[in-house]
Amino acid sequence: MNRSRLPDAALSIVSRGAALFVCTVLFLFVGFLIFRGLPVLGSSLFFGNTAALDAILGRRPVWDGLWPATAGTLYLLLLTMLFAILPGVGGGVYLACYANPRQKQWLGLAVDLLAGVPSIVMGLFGFVLIVFLRRTLLPHGTTCLLLASFCLALLVLPSLVVGTKNALESLPERLYLTASALGFSHDRAVFRVLVPAAGKGILGGIILAMGRAAEDTAVIMLTGVVANAGLPAGLTAKFEALPFRIYYTAAQYADQHELATGFGAALVLLILSACLLFCAWLFQRGLEREWRGFK
């Protein structure tokens, strides 16, 4: 073999080995989780001894099932995305399409600093914030679902900004030039051509943000999650969540059945993330068809 080709061959072998290693680790992890969690997956895992319809409608409490934690996680994700999507995607659009080089430098630095904040520090921020509000504007304020969602939104905001910015900047320049040649204004070209064309990348950033919000435990531990809160009674109430349920079960399980329930909760969280990814894929396909003019 030619010596000049040896580095290329070695790099190819290393890259293939790295890809195989990642796939193997993923397969083993998911396989182990399915092996331990699938046997307990069923209606009793979610609702315990309570009738499913009564539990879903909130007519009877569920004390030994995952339904309150699952519902709390869904509420948490919904509120977090309501807080984060508009400023996150809007900030990414501004950085990619409107900001001058100096603004890009300073705003990009601010986003990078926010991305480097550990989740436990964000949880401490939320805890200190509610203490401050109790001493000033909200004497009866306490940790709750709304506070946890706000802190999680701050935690995932950099992912949305960077994902949107990278998706827009990766588009070919001819798209904007073509839109300008057709008489589009800058704003119209951005929101009618560039943003739809970058929809896949933007949705990828949203999915990453949702995944991090769904799995984070440190923030919610300090901002309102508890072990047996039941279904969320409102935005200012305590709540349960799947990641905290997994952490709590792993730390304090009394027997193998409780441990199996923890594995079941982990599998449910994995399935929830996969469902969110599938829904985003469907939405992205619809967005691409609409942008290309198909019905």
How far is the C-alpha of 158 from the C-alpha of 61, rounded, in Å?
A: 38
Both tokens assigned to 83? 């807080």
Length of the chain: 295
Q: How much is the pLDDT for 83?
A: 94
How far is the C-alpha of 200 from the C-alpha of 25, rounded, in Å?
A: 27
Name the CA dihedral angle for 67, 71, 73, 77, rounded to a multiple of 10 degrees: 160
**Average pLDDT over all residues of the chain:** 84
pLDDT tens figures, 51-88: 888 888 778 888 888 888 888 998 999 999 999 999 99
Q: How much is the pLDDT for 294?
A: 42
Residue 225, beta-bridge partner list: 239
For the ranges 122-136, 166-180, 199-213, 271-285, the maximum mean pLDDT occurs at 122-136
235 with 59: CB under 8 angstroms? Answer: no
- Closest Cα to residue 87, out of 194, 161, 184? 161
pLDDT tens figures, 219-233: 888 888 888 878 888
Where does residue 191 rank: exposed (0-12), middle (13-18), buried (19+ CB within 10 A)?
middle
Can you spell out the DSSP letters for 36-47?
A: HHGGG-SHHHHH
Helices 67-97 and 256-292: angle between axes, nearest 10 degrees? 40
Exposed e or buried b per residue across 90-120, where buried means at least 16 C-beta atoms within 10 angstroms of its C-beta: ebbbbbbbebeeeeeeebeeebeeeeeeebe
Tell which wins on pLDDT, 1 or 138.
138
Residue 239, beta-bridge partner list: 225
How far is the C-alpha of 118 from the C-alpha of 115, rounded, in Å?
A: 8
Q: How much is the pLDDT for 293?
A: 54
User: In this model, does residue 295 exceed pLDDT 50?
Assistant: no
Alpha helices in the chain (DSSP H): 6-37, 43-47, 52-57, 67-97, 101-115, 119-135, 145-169, 173-181, 186-189, 195-197, 199-215, 218-221, 242-252, 256-292
Helix (H, G, I), strand (E, B) or coil at 55: helix
39 with 112: CB under 8 angstroms? Answer: no
pLDDT tens figures, 78-126: 999 999 999 999 999 999 989 888 888 899 899 988 888 888 899 899 9
Residues of the chain with pLDDT > 70: what percent?
93
Per-residue CA distances from 48 to 36, 53, 62, 200, 227 (Å): 19, 12, 7, 40, 16
How far is the C-alpha of 122 from the C-alpha of 12, rounded, in Å?
A: 41
pTM: 0.84
Helix (H, G, I), strand (E, B) or coil at 193: helix
Tell which wins on pLDDT, 178 or 27.
27
pLDDT tens figures, 242-254: 898 888 888 888 7
